[in-house]
Amino acid sequence: MRDEELIEAAKTAAAMAYAPYSKFRVGAVVLAADGSLFTGSNVENAAFPSTLCAEAVAIGSAVSSGVRKIDVIAVACLDGDQNCFPCGQCRQRMREFGTEKVIVTDKAGRTHRHDLSDLLPHSFGPEDLPSP
């Protein structure tokens, strides 16, 4: 699937976001290693620490369907005029499932593909834990 198609799917997911407080709608699409797609949108909560990021929702959907390897995640924001990058917690979630590429859009709507290792340098992963 082309990057632009993944971003369009992320925009469709963003349109479903529940963002009554920030008015900042975000959508994400996970492309699993087996080629399956999973979407997510941000879900806000009056108790802000309880808010779910779109990426976390999409990853959770993929994992609950048995996915353990994610190749690409595309993220799109419908509101605001900044680039739409995943937060640190979501980058760590991506790392857990071996995500290699993250696709985002810039202010002009152009897509950009990044290596997760560039967005999360010197990351900590499962292989860093002691062997059982």
Tell me the pLDDT tens digit for each residue of 60-107: 999 999 999 999 999 999 987 777 899 999 999 999 999 999 999 877
* Residue 110: pLDDT band with limits 50, 70, 90: confident
Residue ranges of domains in the chain, CATH in brackets: 3-123 (3.40.140.10)
Tokens of 117: 């290792």
- Is 8 known to be catalytic? no
Query: Among residues of the chain, what percentage have pLDDT more than 70?
Result: 100
Model pLDDT, residue 40: 98
Of 5, 44, 55, 127, the active-site residue reads: 55
Strands (E) located in the chain? 26-32, 37-41, 70-77, 101-105, 111-115
Model pLDDT, residue 116: 97
Model pLDDT, residue 117: 96
